[in-house]
Amino acid sequence: MGKTEPEEKFEEYREYLCQEAVRLASYVRLYRRLHDCWADRLDEIKVAPAFFLVVRDALFSAIVLWVNKLFDEKSERGLVHFLTFCEYNRSMFEIEELQCRLNYPDGHWMLDREPILLKTIREDRERINKLKSLRSFKLRRDKFHAHFDKKYFFDRKKLSQDAPLKWSDLEEVIRVMKDIINRYSAAYDGKLYKLEPINATDVDYLLDRLHRSRKQ
């Protein structure tokens, strides 16, 4: 039996959403690592300060833009729209559908799970709505990173005051993103995604090599 149109759409949606989730996670991981390197590899960074400063600033802009693209309710493709798609096609996530899709026998451990209900989807929407940092990301996106607002263009400190962000905000955004994608992916066909950047320690390798070279 072939896949239905909603099933094909879900698999396509999941594939591209995972790609963008990994992209955002990669931006955040590398941005955090570069920030830490300013403390423990400052001498190496000073070898090419323009490069590292530009990369760090570019990563932060990318983080602001990608958080908005993935979480903004007006985004035509993102987590909010993904939840709407899942809501309209809830029958795909029924445990009986999972059993049929993967030909599991009765009593298989993968079938021992909470079903995806309308309540589940509403709770995930509410979880997104409760992300207080989204207001800061949106303000930064609208007033500086995507468009220049004259107030913030001439007063960069006010931007930080009006749209504060902490490391914990970045971590929470990544965590919510992963949880939502994996909840519906697991319900559909049991697949879970790490959604982690590949070779996240590359910058450490480069700076460590440079550090050893300078010592010699």
- What are the pLDDT digits (tens) for 184-196? 999 999 999 999 8
| DSSP per-residue codes, 103-151 | TPPTT-GGG-S----HHHHHHHHHHHHT-THHHHHHHHIIIIISS--HH
CA distance to 32, 41, 82, 168, 199, per residue, from 78 (Å) = 24, 37, 6, 22, 25
* 116 has a pLDDT exceeding 90: yes
pTM above 0.95, yes or no: no
CB–CB of 169/136 below 8 Å?
A: yes
Angle (CA) 20 24 26, round 5°: 115
Domain that holds residue 84: 5-215
pLDDT of residue 1: 60
Tens digit of each residue's pLDDT (9 = 90 or more) over 42-60: 888 888 888 889 999 999 9
Cα torsion at 157, 162, 167, 173 (round to 10°)? Answer: -140
Residue entry with tokens 């997104």: 128
Band the pLDDT of 199: cuts 50, 70, 90.
confident
The most confident of 30-39, 99-108, 174-183, by mean pLDDT: 174-183
pLDDT of residue 61: 97
d(CA 60, CA 83): 27
Q: How many domains does the chain have?
A: 1
* 216 has a pLDDT exceeding 70: no
Lowest mean pLDDT of 134-138, 149-153, 196-200, name the range.
196-200
d(CA 25, CA 147): 24
d(CA 59, CA 66): 10
